[in-house]
């Protein structure tokens, strides 16, 4: 393994090394959003060298999956003469193959896109359980690594399995997208040396998804890259949206109803509001879909300040999805230089302001570090309400255990942000409404989170602390 190839993933690499060197068999599940780099991590860690490796086929029937498994067995030395008739037979042959390896070392088995092997009425999961519980887990030299983009399948069929696999999947590695710091390092490693403003804007279009970031051309500017990848005819991500949701969720049309509804309100919707917008039933299916969207990190769920879990708000949190729905959906004949021509459009400024709030919510650890409270226990929420003084909305509240509540104002601008007399009055009113409506007895401190900081003037003293764009690029530790 060449560590120079990796940006981030330090924790995951340490864990994989630990599992490979343990004195017992290990069952390791690597999961996360599609395109986040699961397969790359495993291939590079093991130098693409295994004792058996197979990748499930997307939407292919049982017999084709079995033939693909059979061909992989042959590639790794199996003498099986015909395609297995079922999964029990297939895994029995894999067991024979591994037993035949006499070297005193961990035998590495890598099954990629495991959920795709579990086709309808294939009885795959039972055979998989029998292979691992009945034999693999009893050995001391097997390392079974499975990957899957279908986080919903992984969570439901393995992590929450109450049958043969219950409590067997002790090793879980959930891969997160890159942070801003990791994104910057990755871009530099590929010869892309943009300023941080452009990196943040790039992050707001595609998030810290390694596959998307790899599409960037170091000979093009940020604007040219976005035009080339998103808006050029047959661009790399022009048709990514439909494929993304179809490969992750069985009934993607129902999931997209929820996604479309959440896209209409940047601050998010409650469960009842989602039902009203989508006309979906208030039942277990909706509960499962919301959980799946949250587990896959397409949706963020958070509480409204001062309310219990029944008032949880669901907010669309996937940057690529937000960008696609805002600027690409329904455009059949796009301007191939749309993003460049759109530079000074007010709609872009509105999008940037809203999406920068998402970036901040994904970098709470960095915000806490910047204002010196990284060691303080906190609850993160949002709030909207009213009092006799009027109405107010706060998109980010950091409620601290040291009897302080940080009310965060987030502004994305191309230069130092200026707090004028009117805006100072607006901020004071917002704080007053919050205190009156919530009856908070904690100290309320205003934090301004901006790109380049707040320009000092007669009105900037209203803030107790500030966080700049550069602070979001810090390490979370």
176 and 47 Cβ atoms separated by less than 8 Å:
no
For residue 295, the domain's CATH number is 1.10.10.10
Residue 415: Cβ-neighbour burial (10 angstroms; 0-12, 13-18, 19+): exposed
Q: Specify whether 28 is located in the same domain as 14.
A: yes
CA atoms of 467 and 222, how far apart (whole Å): 24
Instruction: Point out the domain boundary residue: 131, 157, 175.
Output: 175
Q: Specify whether 187 is located in the same domain as 168.
A: no
Q: Which of 237, 175, 228, 470 is nearest to 339 (CA)?
A: 228
Q: Which of helix, strand or coil describes residue 242?
A: helix
Q: Specify whether 266 is located in the same domain as 385.
A: no
Instruction: Point out the domain boundary residue: 154, 175, 196.
Output: 175
Q: Which of helix, strand or coil describes residue 449?
A: strand
DSSP single-letter state for residue 454: B
CA atoms of 465 and 401, how far apart (whole Å): 18
Instruction: Point out the domain boundary residue: 131, 147, 175.
Output: 175
pTM score: 0.91
172 and 29 Cβ atoms separated by less than 8 Å:
yes
- Establish if 144 belongs to a structural domain: yes
How many domains are contained in the chain? 4
CA atoms of 158 and 283, how far apart (whole Å): 23
Q: Which of helix, strand or coil describes residue 396?
A: strand
List the Cα angle 68/73/76 in 5-degree steps: 130
**Cβ neighbours for 438, distance < 8 A, ≥ 6 positions apart:** 305, 306, 383, 385
CA atoms of 97 and 120, how far apart (whole Å): 27
For residue 463, the domain's CATH number is 3.40.1350.10
Q: Which of 111, 152, 149 is nearest to 294 (CA)?
A: 152
Q: Specify whether 450 is located in the same domain as 353.
A: no
Q: Specify whether 303 is located in the same domain as 346.
A: no
Q: Specify whether 124 is located in the same domain as 108.
A: yes
Q: Specify whether 48 is located in the same domain as 98.
A: yes
Sequential pLDDT tens for the chain (477 residues): 555 567 889 999 999 999 999 999 999 999 988 899 999 999 999 999 999 999 999 999 999 999 999 999 999 999 999 999 999 999 999 999 999 998 999 999 999 999 999 999 999 999 999 999 999 999 999 999 999 887 778 888 887 776 666 555 568 899 999 999 999 999 999 999 999 999 999 999 999 999 999 999 999 999 999 999 999 888 899 889 988 888 888 788 999 999 999 998 888 999 999 999 999 999 999 998 998 899 888 999 988 786 666 678 999 999 999 999 999 988 766 788 999 998 889 999 999 999 999 999 999 999 999 999 999 999 999 898 899 999 999 989 999 999 999 999 999 999 999 999 999 999 999 999 999 999 999 999 999 999 999 999 999 999 999 999 999 999 987
For residue 118, the domain's CATH number is 3.40.50.300
Q: Specify whether 274 is located in the same domain as 288.
A: yes
Distance (Å) of CA 43 to CA 46, 48, 105, 121, 222: 5, 4, 19, 31, 30
Which token pair is 76? 């790794």
Q: Specify whether 93 is located in the same domain as 109.
A: yes
In which element (H, E) is residue 418 found? none
Q: Which domain holds residue 271?
A: 241-327
- Establish if 445 belongs to a structural domain: yes
Q: Specify whether 353 is located in the same domain as 432.
A: no
- Establish if 477 belongs to a structural domain: no
CA atoms of 23 and 35, how far apart (whole Å): 32
Residue 320: Cβ-neighbour burial (10 angstroms; 0-12, 13-18, 19+): buried
Helix and strand element counts for the chain (H, E): 20, 13
- Establish if 428 belongs to a structural domain: yes
Q: Specify whether 446 is located in the same domain as 321.
A: no
Rounded to 5 degrees, φ, ψ at 339 are -70, -35
For the chain, the maximum distance between any two Cα atoms, rounded to a whole number of angstroms, is: 84
Residues forming beta bridges with residue 382, ordered by sequence position: 304
CA atoms of 301 and 269, how far apart (whole Å): 10
Q: Specify whether 46 is located in the same domain as 149.
A: yes
């Amino acid at each position: 393994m060449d560590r120079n190839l990796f940006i981030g993933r330090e924790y995951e690499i340490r864990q994989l090394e630990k599992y490979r060197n343990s004195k017992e068999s290990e069952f390791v599940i690597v999961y996360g959003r599609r395109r986040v780099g699961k397969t790359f991590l495993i291939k590079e860690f093991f130098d693409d060298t295994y004792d058996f490796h197979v990748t499930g086929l997307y939407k292919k029937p049982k017999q084709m999956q079995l033939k693909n498994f059979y061909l992989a067995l042959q590639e790794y030395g199996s003498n099986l003469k015909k395609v297995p008739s079922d999964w029990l037979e297939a895994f029995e042959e894999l067991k024979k193959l591994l037993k035949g390896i006499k070297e005193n070392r961990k035998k590495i088995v890598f099954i990629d896109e495991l959920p795709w092997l579990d086709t309808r009425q294939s009885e795959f999961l039972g055979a998989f359980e029998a292979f691992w519980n009945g034999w693999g887990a009893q050995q001391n030299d097997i390392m079974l690594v499975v990957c899957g983009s279908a986080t919903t399948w992984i969570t439901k069929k393995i992590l929450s399995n109450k049958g043969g696999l219950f409590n067997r999947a002790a090793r879980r590695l959930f891969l997160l997208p890159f942070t801003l710091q990791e994104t910057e390092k990755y871009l530099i490693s590929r010869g892309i040396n943009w300023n941080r403003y452009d990196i943040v804007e790039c992050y707001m279009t595609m998030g810290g998804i390694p596959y998307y970031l790899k599409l960037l051309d170091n000979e093009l500017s940020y604007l040219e890259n976005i035009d080339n990848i998103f808006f050029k005819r047959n661009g790399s991500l022009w048709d990514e949206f439909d494929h993304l949701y179809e490969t992750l969720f069985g009934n993607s049309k129902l999931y997209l109803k929820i996604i479309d509804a959440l896209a209409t309100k940047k601050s998010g919707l409650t469960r009842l509001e989602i039902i009203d917008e989508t006309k979906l039933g208030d039942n277990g299916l909706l509960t499962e879909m919301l959980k799946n969207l949250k587990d896959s990190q397409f949706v963020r769920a958070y509480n409204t300040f001062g309310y219990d879990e029944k008032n949880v708000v669901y907010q669309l949190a996937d940057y690529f999805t937000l960008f696609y729905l805002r600027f690409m959906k329904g455009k059949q004949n796009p301007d191939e230089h749309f993003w460049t021509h759109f530079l000074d459009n007010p709609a872009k400024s509105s999008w940037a302001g809203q999406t920068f709030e998402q970036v901040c919510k994904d970098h709470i650890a960095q915000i806490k570090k910047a204002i010196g409270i990284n060691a303080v226990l906190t609850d993160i929420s949002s709030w909207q309400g009213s009092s006799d003084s009027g109405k107010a909305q706060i998109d980010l509240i950091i409620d601290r255990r040291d009897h302080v509540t940080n009310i965060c104002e987030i502004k994305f601008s191309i230069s130092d942000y200026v707090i004028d007399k009117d805006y100072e009055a607006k901020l004071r009113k917002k704080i007053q409404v919050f205190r009156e409506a919530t009856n908070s007895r904690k100290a309320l401190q205003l934090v301004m989170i901006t790109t380049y900081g707040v320009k000092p003037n007669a009105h900037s003293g209203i803030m107790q602390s500030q966080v700049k764009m550069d602070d979001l690029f810090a390490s979370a530790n």
